[in-house]
Amino acid sequence: MPCPIRIVLVETSHPGNIGAVARALKNMQLEDLVLVRPKLFPHPEASARASGAVELLSGARVEADLAAALQGCGLVLATTSRERDQYFRVFDVREAACRAVAEAEHAPVAIMFGSERAGLTNEELRYAHALLRIPANPAYASLNIAMAVQIVAYEILRARLAPPQEARIEARAAPLATPAELDHLYQHLATVLEEIDFRDRTQSGGHLMKRIRRLLQRAEPDANEVNILRGILTAVQQRRRRAGQDS
pLDDT at 93: 96
- Rounded Cα distance between 72 and 175, Å, is 11
| Dihedral pair phi/psi, residue 130, rounded to 5° | -160, 165
Ordered by where they begin, the domains of the chain are 5-166 (3.40.1280.10), 179-246 (1.10.8.590)
Q: In a 10 Å sphere around its CB, with 0-12 CB exposed, 13-18 middle and 19+ buried, how is residue 146 labelled?
A: buried
Read off the pLDDT of residues 189-238 as tens digits, 9 standing for 90 and up: 999 999 999 988 776 667 899 889 999 999 999 999 999 999 999 999 99
Question: What are the angstrom distances between the C-alpha of 87 and each of 64, 84, 90?
Answer: 28, 8, 9
- Rounded Cα distance between 235 and 241, Å, is 10
Contacts of 23 (CB under 8 A, 6+ apart): 49, 50, 51, 52, 53
Read off the pLDDT of residues 131-181 as tens digits, 9 standing for 90 and up: 999 999 988 988 999 999 999 999 999 999 998 655 455 667 788 999 999
Read off the pLDDT of residues 73-113 as tens digits, 9 standing for 90 and up: 999 999 988 765 567 899 999 999 999 999 999 999 999 99
Read off the pLDDT of residues 16-66 as tens digits, 9 standing for 90 and up: 999 999 999 999 999 999 999 999 999 999 999 999 999 999 999 999 999
CB 33 within 8 A of CB 60: yes
Note the pTM of the prediction, 2 decimals.
Answer: 0.89
Closest CA to 45 of 17, 9, 23: 17
Helix (H) or strand (E) holding 38: none
Widest CA span in the chain: 72
- Rounded Cα distance between 136 and 150, Å, is 14
**Counting runs of H as helices and runs of E as strands, what totals does the chain give?**
10, 7
The model's confidence at residue 245, banded by pLDDT at 50, 70 and 90, is: confident
- Rounded Cα distance between 96 and 147, Å, is 17
| DSSP code, position 168 | -
pLDDT at 167: 47
Helix, strand or coil, per DSSP, at residue 110:
strand
| DSSP code, position 137 | -
Mean pLDDT for all residues in the chain: 92
CB 70 within 8 A of CB 10: no
CB 153 within 8 A of CB 24: yes
- Rounded Cα distance between 26 and 56, Å, is 7
- Rounded Cα distance between 99 and 93, Å, is 10
- Rounded Cα distance between 158 and 3, Å, is 13
